[in-house]
Structure formats: structure tokens, C-alpha cells
Amino acid sequence: MSTRQRAIDAPGTPDRRFYLGQDRPLRLDCGVELGPFTVAYETHGRLDAERRNAILVCHALTGDHHVASLHPITGKPGWWQTMVGPGKVIDTDRYFVICTNVLGGCMGSSGPKEINPATGRAYAMSFPVITVADMVRAQALLLDHLGIEQLFCVIGGSMGGMQALQWAANYPDRVFAAIPIACAARHSAQNIAFHEVGRQAIMADPDWCGGDYLARGRVPRAGLAVARMAAHITYLSEAALHRKFGRTLQNRDHITYGFEADFQVESYLRHQGSTFVDRFDANSYLYITRAMDYFDLAAEYGGVLARAFAGTKTRFCIVSFTSDWLFPTAENRAVVHALNAAAANVSFVEVETDKGHDAFLLDEPELFATLGGFLNGAAEHRGLGRS
């Protein structure tokens, strides 16, 4: 097989593990020194000779590093396969795409589900509480390992956008361009409240066992499913729910005067809950929601968000969605205002859509056009050749 043929066929290197912190542990925001620990990741495309074409894709709360490869549990396409791939907006013929499972996750990176090397048992609730900044620190170590001094771009939606902002703030020299989508510089009271409902649902499940369910051969299925159901509503807009389901009944002509899933929307939510439990760890859900709740970038910079970006040379593209009520445009615009106050290079697009917060994961032509245009312009400024 020729090198060229291999490059075309190569699906990247999905599901790799990088073992870190053997010599020097990672000091987390909570003060704990974590090590050794693991970062699971996958890559797509090829790093160019100058190591200047790398794009770090950051996943959201329930995502993982399978951004453009089949998910090993669900067998479904990667979570951003609409966006990432040969000839797509994040063109793997042109860019070297890296996606890591966040610290605290449950798909291979160190988290509550993984074995604590010090004890030989799953961490469970003894895993230290991590922050978005900790997630980013672990990613930075991976980039060191890969020999990537500066990312061409860091991009992500929702919690992925928080990571993109954190990258730009903490490592301004390592980020040429940043695309935080549908996020905020801090988690709102309403969002903390919804997360707290999910956590309480999990912890209320007797099968959670104070977090020790793995050791006891149990799974808090019901609690995690309820948490997912509540969260899932917040990812969609009222208009999208109305358009998709309205009051349509599920496989019946009349209401049954009972508590079965009479309405399609009920059946859909139950399905969302039960399938989620098959692929996600309940303790990870606790840890990652907590990291999002704790996210408050301005607080890390003396209470002034603009200071997080002082003197930045990074080019920013901020994207929000009109029907996103979890991270509404106003929250995204607050980031734009801070960037303006820091005299940063920033473009801002509010995409008109009724798909709600999840629009960043869906087939949204205006999003594709916006990101494609921004990435092409940034690539030109960076002197990256056309694909």
C-alpha cells in the first residue's frame, strides 16, 4: 500500500491511550496531585511537517473522544461526524484533528470509573473533583507529548466551548484560533439548578450505593436515566419538541387514562434515558456536571472577564443559537463583549435555528457555513495550504 493510499484510507488513530503523570503528577485545582493517570484520545488526518495544522475538538458533558469514529458501545457514528471528516468543515484531509476524553470521563480517561493504581479498585467517589481547567491541563500535556506547540484551533460546543475559552485564557500562545460554540464564561444559576436535579436523582437511587455501585455489581440505572431525561429537555427548544412530537400519541389512537407513555414525547424521553445508561457512568455524570457548575472564567481573573483575554493574539469565532435557552445568546455575547474590551480579534454569529442547544451537534447549514468561512480565513492567515 502506498503512503498516499494509506493516508486516504487511514481512519486516524481512534481510541488511543496516553499515560501521564508517572514522573510528575498533575496538580489539580482542588489541590490533589493526580498521577499516574490516563488520557484517551483519537486523531484524524495527518499532522503536517511544521506541526501547525492541529485542531483540538473538545466534547460536551456526555460526549467522548469518538468524535469521528464508531462508538465502541453504541456502534453509532462519531458524535461530530457531520462536522469532522474528509472534505467536511473540519477537513481531516487538511487538518490534524485531536479529540480527548475529558479527565473525569468514562470512556478511557482517568475518572471515577477507572482503577486507582494506588488501590487496585475503581476510584468511585474518591476520584478528586476536577475542573474545566484541569481537563485543559491534561490536554496540554497530551499536546506536549505529540510535539504540538501551538494549536491551529481549539473548538467545542457547550462544555467543549468552556474548554475552548479556558484554553484561550490559560494558554494564549498555544491557541491560534478558538471557536467556543453555545457556551458561557460561567455556568448560570438555572444551569447549576438543572445539574443539581440530575445529581440528586442519581444519588437518590439506592443502587448508587454512595458511589460504590461498581464494587457491588450494581448500576443506578433509574437515577441516571431520570438525570438524562431532565437534561435532555434542556438541550432542545420548546419549538423543536413541538415540531417533533407535539401531543402526538405513541402507537395508539386514544389516551389510555394511565401512566404508560401515551405521548410520543414521553416514549422518546424514556428511550433517551435508558440508552444513555448503557453508555455512560453515573459517577462521571456527577463529576463532569460539577466541573461545569464550577466554571467561572472571570472569577479566575480577578472578577473581570476581559482580563482572561488581556493581550491575546488568538482569533475568536463565537457562535450562539437563537433557540438555545441553556446557553442563550446573551451569555455568548457577554464573552464577545469581554473579548472586545480586550481588543481581541473576534467574530460573532447568532445562528437562527429552532433546534435549541443541541443545534451544534446537528445538521445546521448556517453553522457549517460560519465555521467553514472562519476556518478558511484563519488557515490563510496561518499560511496553511489549501487541501
Catalytic residues: 158, 324, 357
- Candidates 43-51, 109-117, 262-270, 308-316 — which segment interacts with its own copies by CB under 8 A? 262-270
Among 8, 10, 204, 362, binds its own copies (CB under 8 A): 204
- Contacts with its own copies in 68-127 (CB under 8 A)? 125
Q: Smallest distance from the beta carbon of 255 to its own copies, in angstroms?
A: 6
Site membership for its own copies, residue 293 (CB under 8 A): yes
CB of 268: closest distance to its own copies in angstroms? 8
**Binds its own copies by CB under 8 A, chosen from 233, 306, 336, 341:** 233
Q: Is 52 in the site for its own copies (CB under 8 A)?
A: no
The number of beta carbons lying within 10 Å of the beta carbon of residue 120 is 7
Measured CA to CA, the distance from residue 349 to residue 317 in angstroms comes to 8
Contact 179, 153 (CB under 8 A): yes
Nearer to its own copies, 49 or 189 (CB): 189
| Pairing mode of beta strands 33-34, 84-85 | unpaired
Pick from 138, 177, 225, 338: which binds its own copies (CB under 8 A)? 225
Q: Which stretch binds its own copies (CB under 8 A): 105-113, 161-169, 286-294, 364-372?
A: 286-294
Q: By three-state DSSP, how is residue 88 classified?
A: coil
- Torsion angle of the four alpha carbons 199, 200, 202, 205, in this order, in degrees rounded to the nearest 10: 170
Pairing of strands 26-27, 33-34: antiparallel
253 near its own copies, judged by CB under 8 A: no
Nearer to its own copies, 58 or 277 (CB): 277
> Is residue 368 within the footprint of its own copies (CB under 8 A)?
no
CB-based burial label for 249 (10 Å; 0-12, 13-18, 19+): middle
Among 70, 129, 142, 336, binds its own copies (CB under 8 A): 129
151-157 and 175-181: which strand pairing?
Answer: parallel
Distance from C-alpha of 331 to C-alpha of 352, rounded to nearest angstrom: 16
Q: How far apart are CA 310 and CA 323, in angstroms?
A: 31
Q: Which is nearer to its own copies, 133 or 379 (CB)?
A: 133
Tell the smallest beta-carbon distance from residue 295 to its own copies (Å): 10
- Choice from 242, 271, 313, 337 touching its own copies (CB under 8 A): 242
- The DSSP output letter for 260 is S
Question: Which among 57-65, 145-153, 162-170, 227-235 is the span making contact with its own copies, rule CB under 8 A?
Answer: 227-235
* Interior angle at CA 248, CA 243 and CA 254, nearest 5: 170
Q: Least CB distance from residue 122 to its own copies, whole Å?
A: 17
State the burial class of residue 24 (Cβ atoms within 10 Å of its Cβ: 0-12, 13-18, 19+).
exposed
Phi first, then psi, for residue 54 (nearest 5°) are: -85, 135
By the rule CB under 8 A, 271 interacts with its own copies: no
> What's the rounded Cα separation, in Å, for the pair 284 and 323?
28
Q: Is residue 30 near its own copies by the rule CB under 8 A?
A: yes
The whole-angstrom separation of Cα 80 and Cα 280 is: 18
Among 20, 323, 328, 351, binds its own copies (CB under 8 A): 328
Q: H or E stretch including 345? A: strand 345-351
Return the SS3 of 190. Answer: helix
8 binds its own copies (CB under 8 A): no
Question: What cell numbers appear for 144 in the block?
Answer: 506536549
Q: How far apart are CA 351 and CA 159, in angstroms?
A: 19
Least distance (Å) between residue 132 CB and its own copies: 13
* Among the listed residues 102, 169, 269, 317, the single contact to its own copies using CB under 8 A: 269
* Site membership for its own copies, residue 244 (CB under 8 A): yes
Binding site for its own copies (CB under 8 A): 29-31, 125, 128-129, 186-190, 192-194, 196-197, 199-201, 203-206, 222-223, 225-226, 229-230, 233, 236, 238, 241-242, 244-247, 255, 257-259, 261-263, 265-266, 269-270, 273, 286, 290, 293-294, 296, 325, 328
